[in-house]
Amino acid sequence: MRTFTGIFLLLYSCFLSAQDVQFTASASPNILRIGEQFNLTYTSDQELGEINVPEIRDFDILGGPSQGHSQSVYAENGKLTTTSTWQYTYFFRAVKEGKFTIPPATAKIKNKTFHSNAVTVEVIKGKDPAASQNQNIPSQGTSKEADNLRDEDLFVSLLLDRKEVFIGEQIMATIKIYTRVNLFGIDQSFKGPDFIGFFTEPVDVPPLRNLQREAVNGDIYGTGVIRKVVIIPQKTGELTIQPFELDVTLRREVRRKIADSFFDDFTIPEVQEIPVTLKSKAVKISVKPLPPNAPPSFKGAVGDFRLSSTINKSNTATNEPLTLKITLSGKGNLKLISDIEVKVPYDMEKYDPVINTHLDNPLSGSKTFEYLIVPRIAGNYTLPPAEFSYFNPESRQYKTLKTQTYQIDVVKGQGDTLMAVIPGIAKEDVKMLNQDIRFIKTKTFHLRRIDTFIMQSPIYAMLYVVALIIFILILWIRNRLKLQKADIAGLRLRKADKYARKRLKKSAGLMKQGNDAAFYEELLGAIWGYLGDKLGIPVAQLSKEFAKSTLHERGVNEELTDQLFSVTDACEMARYAKGTGDLVMDELYLEALDAISRLQQKLK
């Protein structure tokens, strides 16, 4: 029995090891000129019993395979782990121009066949010897004289994934450096261009440590991504991103001559670091306006979205809250979407939503809105569907999404003295129709003439006038409330200060918690939301320059405007700078509070 168990465990371990085999292929370099050599390396975490390399006719094979084996040991959670790597390298030379794909190789391990991945190699035209002396790839370890440096030897570019968009549409902007000389360092404080007229959202990019070979205009460069930013245009027309400067450092080797009276003169090598300032080219973007006749529920969302909703329960009691969760997901300007309007019956109370944003990548993700709804009176209610409209730039059409309708059954809660609502029956005042028995009056009473009517008394005339005045006053108040509800811009204007102070209070709480990123984002949202409400401009269409010009037209002095936007600039910078400190956060908070308070006095 023990022998059988041992054989089974041995076969099972062999099966698992065969299932976990990693067999990959790679070419280094994968971009080269005609006549240059490259290595084709097959890597496995187990020793290969047999390897079959596909027939490769597009290159000259120089030798191989050269076998190598390495082993590493590391400890993880108190457990010692050993890993092994086997490499089989073949040597080739490029003989013709083009982009070639080397098919997968096959290998056998424990009578099981595995396939590697395919490898792509790009070959460009070779250079004549004179040109080769003047153009060097960074990986070769040579450098270029700074005074003889040409623009095509080292430059920086702003790359956009599209240059013709609709207002509010996302654009991925990539800042990339190209070099054929020995690049030593890049300015770490580089922030990129000023994207005037755009909403910007920086994308995390790992520090540039190694350059990648890339064929550009028939030549090979070392390239690296310095920064990525998602930009969203806030106005229409032809927008220009102005050139920006990038400070880099080159390293070159020079030979210093040493004069000696006894021995012959000789030279010694020295390494010099040479600062160079690169300047990009201006980039133009054509921004088209959105089509007319937008749906009423459209608030500036541009992209491709999906809408879903859930509710935690459909049966509840009075004063027990319900949670309606609406999820908006897809690709587009998610961060500029403030809320989704939810309508509830009159006898239910709705609170401001809790909003959470999750980005799968810089261009797509999801945003959830959790609404707390509290029914106050028992009865059967219908929650109507929430609507969300957006513009799809691919189809160039507006689209409207709706959530489902929910039926809510509310029963009277414990201790609730309010009367339940019965569908189809209106609420009526209780009236006393008659009394069967009247008690004998035992106290002193006064008699009046039976032919005297109250309408003949002056009190009746006075009451009639008072009732008429009250009726007119009620009509005036009712019409005024209707006008206020219809005047959305006026409503936003009146509540702007309240909402701004509410968000400032929330940012103060985040500052006390030490949540830097959330503090700066909430402070920015308070300022931009206040400006959007006060100026009557949707946040998605609000830019710094437009806000400045509008405030100037409204009589706000330049000193107050500069104070306000110095806070937004500091927040934008601090969101992506580490270790700003509580003192900076506290100063920014007080500056924002002071600026909004002074603006409130100016824009009443």
Nearest CA to 282 among 253, 244, 310? 244
Q: Residues, the chain, total?
A: 604
Residue 183 has pLDDT above 60, yes or no: yes
In single-letter form, the type of residue at position 469 comes to: I
Q: Any idea which of 54-63, 66-75, 129-138, 507-516 has the lowest mean pLDDT?
A: 129-138
Specify whether the CB–CB gap between 194 and 175 falls below 8 A: no
What's the pTM value of the predicted model, to 2 decimals?
A: 0.54
With pLDDT > 70 as the criterion, what percentage of the chain qualifies? 77
Place of tokens 């603006």: 599
User: pLDDT grade, residue 258 (50/70/90)?
Assistant: low
**Section 483-501 average pLDDT:** 59
Please state, in angstroms and as integers, the Cα–Cα distance from residue 572 to each residue in 102, 425, 521, following that order: 47, 57, 8
Are 299 and 359 within 8 A, CB to CB? no
Of the candidate ranges 6-15, 161-170, 296-305, 520-529, the one whose mean pLDDT is the lowest: 6-15
* Spatial distance between the Cα atoms of 561 and 599, rounded to a whole number of angstroms: 9
Query: For 131-154, what is each residue's pLDDT tens digit?
Result: 444 444 443 333 344 556 777 788
Helix (H, G, I), strand (E, B) or coil at 203: strand
Per-residue pLDDT, averaged over 583-599, amounts to 77
Give the Å distances, CA to CA, from 569 to 48, 455, 522, 527, 572: 59, 73, 14, 11, 5
Structural contact between residues 165 and 171, judged by C-beta atoms closer than 8 angstroms? yes
Is a pLDDT exceeding 60 seen at residue 423? no
User: Rounded distance, CA 339 to CA 354, Å?
Assistant: 10
pLDDT at site 385: 92
Using pLDDT thresholds of 50, 70 and 90, give the confidence band for residue 453: low
User: Domains along the chain?
Assistant: 18-124 (2.60.40.740), 130-287 (no CATH), 295-411 (2.60.40.740), 488-602 (1.20.120)
Place 425 in a pLDDT band, splitting at 50, 70 and 90: very low
Question: How far are the Cα atoms of 206, 416, 516, 573, 587 from residue 584, in angstroms, in the given order?
Answer: 26, 50, 10, 12, 5
Sheet strand arrangement including 112-115: 50-52, 106-109, 112-115
pLDDT at residue 207, rounded to an integer: 84
Per-residue pLDDT, 10: 46
**CA separation for the pair 158, 171 (Å, rounded):** 12
In the predicted model, what is the mean pLDDT of the chain?
77
What Rg, from alpha-carbon coordinates, does the chain have? 38
Determine the average pLDDT of the residues in 301-317: 90
- Per the CB < 8 A criterion, the answer to whether 460 and 468 are in contact is no
Report the Cα 387 to chain-centroid distance in Å: 23
